[in-house]
Amino acid sequence: MSTINSQDFKFSMPLNIRWNDLDPLNHVNNVYYFEYFQIGRGHYMMAASKQWDWTKNMFVIAHIECDYYKELKLTAKEPLIKLRSSSLGSKSFEIEYLVTSLDKEGNEIIHAKGKSVQVLIDASIGKSIEIPDWLRNDITNYEPSLSTV
């Protein structure tokens, strides 16, 4: 695993692991990480942009991936989902995710790292659109270290 600096992730929120997220090996099944990413994305967009309105603005997922490093169990201490925008293009932007918890000594454990590419769309015509200036400015101000294309 390459070095991951979780301090680069400005946004985080508690992760609620549910009993039904577990598989017969007693750890979170791989498919639920994508659900955790989705839950985090909803909250992240409203934190990164005070103008974001889910009833007016929309994107579709063009790509999503996840690398798993250490099993996550129901008994994990202080599990979190962390997000950051890592690049911003003309019609799309990339979000990275970390799923973390704490070990017995209080050190952070990284359970998984993910990435998704979102493409802005106009839902009324079903086509991709340019990222509006207001959203570009909001994300850039929230994530000053992200790369833009």
Residue 139, SS3? helix
The two tokens of residue 57 are: 């603005």
Q: What is the DSSP letter of 135?
A: H
Q: What is the DSSP letter of 22?
A: B
Report the pLDDT value the prediction gives residue 1, as an integer from 0 to 100. 47
Q: Which residues pair with 128 in a beta bridge?
A: 121
- Cα 109 to Cα 4, 63, 120: the distances in Å are 11, 26, 33
Q: How far apart are CA 60 and CA 64, in angstroms?
A: 11
Q: What is the pLDDT of residues 75-130, one digit of tens each?
A: 999 999 999 999 999 999 999 999 999 999 999 999 999 999 999 999 888 899 99
Report the pLDDT value the prediction gives residue 56, as an integer from 0 to 100. 86
**What is the reported pTM?**
0.92
Q: What is the pLDDT of residues 23-42, one digit of tens each?
A: 999 999 999 999 999 999 99
Q: How far apart are CA 28 and CA 125, in angstroms?
A: 38
